[in-house]
Amino acid sequence: MKIRKICCIGAGYVGGPTMAVIAQKCPEIKVTVVDFNQARIDAWNDENLDNLPVYEPGLDQVVAEARGRNLFFSTAVDKAIHEAEMIFISVNTPTKTYGEGKGQAADLKWIELCARQIAAASDTDKIVVEKSTLPVRTAEAVTDILDNAGNGVKFQILSNPEFLAEGTAIEDLHKADRVLIGGDLNTQGGREAIEALVGVYSHWIPRDRILTTNVWSSELSKLTANAYLAQRVSSINALSELCEVTEADIDEVSRAIGADSRIGGKFLKASVGFGGSCFQKDILNLVYISRSYGLTEVADYWEQVIKMNDHQKGRFAKKIIKSLYNTVSGKKIAFLGWAFKKDTNDTRESAAIYVADHLLCEKANVHVFDPKVKAPQIQSDINYLQSRNQEENESLLSIDTDPYGACRDSHAVAILTEWDEFKTYDWQKIYDSMLKPAQVFDGRNILDHDALRTIGFRVYAIGKA
The residue ranges that bind ligand UDX (CB under 6 A) are 162-166, 226, 229, 233, 267-269, 271, 274-276, 278-279, 340-341
Given candidates 110, 274, 279, 316, which one binds ligand ADP under the rule CB under 6 A? Answer: 110
**How far is 40 from 37, CA to CA, in rounded Å?**
5
Q: Cα(55)–Cα(13) distance, rounded to whole angstroms?
A: 9
Instruction: Tell me which of 7, 8, 278, 407 is the catalytic residue.
Output: 278
CA-nearest of 447, 400, 401 to 426 is 447
User: Which burial class, exposed, middle or buried, applies to 436 when counting CB atoms under 10 A from its CB (0-12, 13-18, 19+)?
Assistant: exposed
- 37 binding partner (options ligand ADP, ligand UDX, none; Cβ < 5 to 8 Å by kind): ligand ADP
**Partner whose binding site includes residue 268, from ligand UDX, ligand ADP, none (CB under 5 to 8 Å by kind):** ligand UDX
Residue among 7, 15, 336, 360 that touches ligand ADP (CB under 6 A): 15
CB 214 within 8 A of CB 200: no
Binding residue for ligand ADP (CB under 6 A) from 24, 32, 70, 92?
A: 92
Which residue ranges are tagged as binding site?
10-15, 35, 40, 91-95, 132-133, 162-166, 222-226, 262, 269-275, 278-281, 340-341, 348, 444
Count of CA atoms in the C-beta half-sphere (13 A) of 134:
29
**Residue 381: exposed, middle, or buried by beta-carbon count in 10 A (0-12, 13-18, 19+)?**
buried
Known binding residues for substrate:
162-166, 222-226, 262, 269-275, 340-341, 444
- If binding is defined by CB under 6 A, does position 10 make contact with ligand ADP? yes
> Dihedral sign, CA of 223, 229, 235, 238?
negative
Q: How far apart are CA 185 and CA 163, in angstroms?
A: 22
Secondary structure of 217-255 as H, E, C letters: HHHHHHHHHHHHHHHHHHHHHHHHHHHHHCCCCHHHHHH
13 binds ligand ADP (CB under 6 A): yes
Radius of gyration for the alpha carbons in the chain, expressed in angstroms and rounded: 23
CB of 462 to ligand UDX, least distance (A): 9
State the binding partner of 91 from ligand ADP, ligand UDX, none, CB within 5 to 8 A by kind: ligand ADP
Query: Is the previous residue joined to 437 through a cis bond, with omega within 30 degrees of 0?
Result: yes
Q: How far is CA 195 from the centre of its chain?
A: 29
Q: What residue 276 binds from ligand UDX, ligand ADP, none (CB within 5 to 8 A, per partner kind)?
A: ligand UDX
77 binds, among ligand UDX, ligand ADP, none (CB under 5 to 8 A by kind): ligand ADP
Question: Among residues 114 and 416, whose Cβ is nearest to ligand ADP?
Answer: 114
> Is 35 an interacting residue with respect to ligand ADP (CB under 6 A)?
yes
Q: Which residue is nearest to ligand ADP (CB)?
A: 12
Whole-number minimum distance, CB 83 to ligand ADP, in Å?
A: 16
Contact 246, 318 (CB under 8 A): no
Nearer to ligand UDX, 44 or 279 (CB): 279
Residue 52 vs 80, nearer CB to ligand UDX: 52
Q: Which does 184 bind (CB under 5 to 8 A by kind): ligand UDX, ligand ADP, none?
A: none
Nearest of 5, 4, 2 to residue 84 by alpha carbon? 5
Site for ligand ADP in 39-78 (CB under 6 A): 40, 77
Question: Is residue 7 annotated as a catalytic residue, yes or no?
Answer: no
337 Cβ contact list (under 8 Å, min separation 6): 352, 369, 370, 415, 416, 417, 418, 419, 422, 444
Question: Which of ligand ADP, ligand UDX, none is residue 190 near (CB under 5 to 8 Å by kind)?
Answer: none
Among the listed ranges 109-117, 217-225, 284-292, 320-328, the one in contact with ligand ADP (CB under 6 A) is: 109-117
Task: Rank residues 164 and 179 by Cβ distance to ligand UDX and give the closer one.
Answer: 164
CB 444 within 8 A of CB 437: no
Applying CB under 6 A, which residues contact ligand ADP? Answer: 9-15, 34-37, 40, 77, 90-92, 110, 113-114, 117, 132, 277
Residues marked as catalytic:
278
